[in-house]
Structure 1
Amino acid sequence: MSSTTIAVWNGSHDQLTRAAELYAEVFSEAPYGEERSQSIESFTSRVRRRASEKPSFRLLIATEGDRVVGLVLGTGVSRGDWWWDRLEAALPPDVKEVWLDQECFSVEELAVDGSHRRRGVAAALMAAVLDDLPHRTALLSCYQEARSAQKLYSRLGWAVIDPAVHVTESRAVQVMGIRLHE
């Protein structure tokens, strides 16, 4: 991690393209199995849309020299957002009361190059993206099969809110949360 730098996305097309390429590389792996070119296009358009529409938008990029080795994307979410509304419909009332405040932060994506895993890059990205947020809680989801991701999040203090939520028609995801400002 010593030669790795973490910085806020500078808004450039070049840096976003390199981040999207890393995203596509990581999420083409099991258990995700996303198609690379479609992932690049989807990630790029999602980032641009979120940057212009969402509160507390954050895209942090970890680099070594010019090489992107990690990224984390997150935004504020509230009632009316797709993710919020799906969680509100799926979670039990007592869980919603604790985790779905008026607005919370959602970590949408975390990706680290395979050669940089288990070197502190993911932990540093997660700490940086959550730093100084105005929200009370942060949420994320991960595939149930993504055991190494779940272990990482648990080590970082994230709690399992629901191990198997169906927010789409496809497979269930594990939803995790962390309290901020405690």
Structure 2
Amino acid sequence: MLRFPGHGPLRPDDVVIGPLDLAAHVDEALEVQAKAFGLGPDEVAVRRQIVLRHMTLPGARAFGATVGGRLVGFVYGMPNDRAHWWSTVVEPHLRARGRDDWLDGSFVITELHVHPRYQKHGIGRSLITTITDGADEPRSILSAIDVESPARGLYRSLGYEDLARRVHFPSAPKPYAVMGAPLPLRRAPDGRDRPDRKDR
């Protein structure tokens, strides 16, 4: 039986985490991202092309979280490449802090989103640990909006630390922080890595 937040906790077997053919499910995924990130139709259209292009890059892969067959969260990433647009933006900020070596030998988390209705149940944690557990690289890197948020708290709990802050991406209204962590990601000693837990 499907349970929603406020109607009883999700059980581990309510949530299925598995590989996702993101190109085939891009519209479902972007619907989740739009809800989680507050995107409008124009922004979704731009991101759709970006996601489809990213999924053609070497080593790119995605995982999804489904509840009752419905996609409620997803993550995707790839081995980092200094030639990629994201790397060219963050590289000067990392170099200024003597941390640009993080752009080599890292698996980059490109996007991680969970539908707001399903947040705080450990789904985001399960998605990011699942995708990075399969990485050949010794560490992971990502960017997140540079404010104290549940997402930043999640990343810190997994071992990510700030490498650079106040990074401005073209057309992004808010600055970002670049974060990095050694792999495998840190696990919670009390079992909070399970998707039935309420603390995300």
**Structure-2-length-normalised TM-score:** 0.77
The 3-state SS of whatever aligns with 1:176 is strand
Q: Secondary structure at the match of 1:87?
A: helix
Q: Distance in 2 between matches of 1:160 and 1:93?
A: 11
Tell whether the 8 Å contact from 2:21 to 2:62 is kept in structure 1 after alignment.
no
Query: Whole-Å Cα distance in 2 between the matches of residues 117 and 11 of structure 1?
Result: 20
2:117 counterpart of 1:107? no
Q: Is the Cα contact below 8 Å between 1:160 and 1:177 reproduced in 2?
A: yes
On the 8 A contact 2:80/2:103 being kept in 1, the answer is no
1:23 to 13, 27, 33: 33
Aligned mate of 1:166, from 156, 168, 176: 168
SS in 1 for 2:89: helix
| Alignment map for 1:145-164 (pairs within 5 Å) | 145=147, 147-164=149-166
1:90 aligns with 2:98: no
Partner of 1:179: 182
CA deviation string 1:9-62 (max 9, x = no partner): 13563x32211211111110xxxxx31x2243233322221111x222112110
**Residues 71 and 127 (structure 1 numbering): CA distance in 2 closer, same or farther, change over 3 Å?**
same
Q: What is the aligned-residue identity percentage?
A: 26
RMSD value, Cα: 2.1
Pick from 35, 49, 55 the counterpart of residue 53 of structure 2.
Answer: 49
Unaligned runs of 5+ in 1: 29-33
| Residue 21 of structure 2: aligned partner | 10
Output the TM-score relative to the length of structure 1.
0.84
- Separation in structure 1 between the aligned mates of residue 98 and residue 180 of structure 2, nearest angstrom: 14
- Structure 1: how far apart are the matches of 2:128 and 2:21? 18
Q: Is the 8 A contact 1:90 1:166 kept in 2?
A: no
- 1:132 aligned partner: 134
Aligned residues of 1:90 and 1:167 also touching (Cα < 8 A)? no
Q: Secondary structure at the match of 1:56?
A: coil
Judging changes above 3 Å, is the alpha-carbon distance between structure 1 residues 62 and 16 closer, same or farther for their aligned structure 2 residues? Answer: same
The aligned runs of 1:63-74 (5 Å cut-off) are 63-74=66-77
> 1:149 offset after TM fit, Å?
0.9
Equivalent of residue 79 in structure 2, options 63, 76, 80 = 76
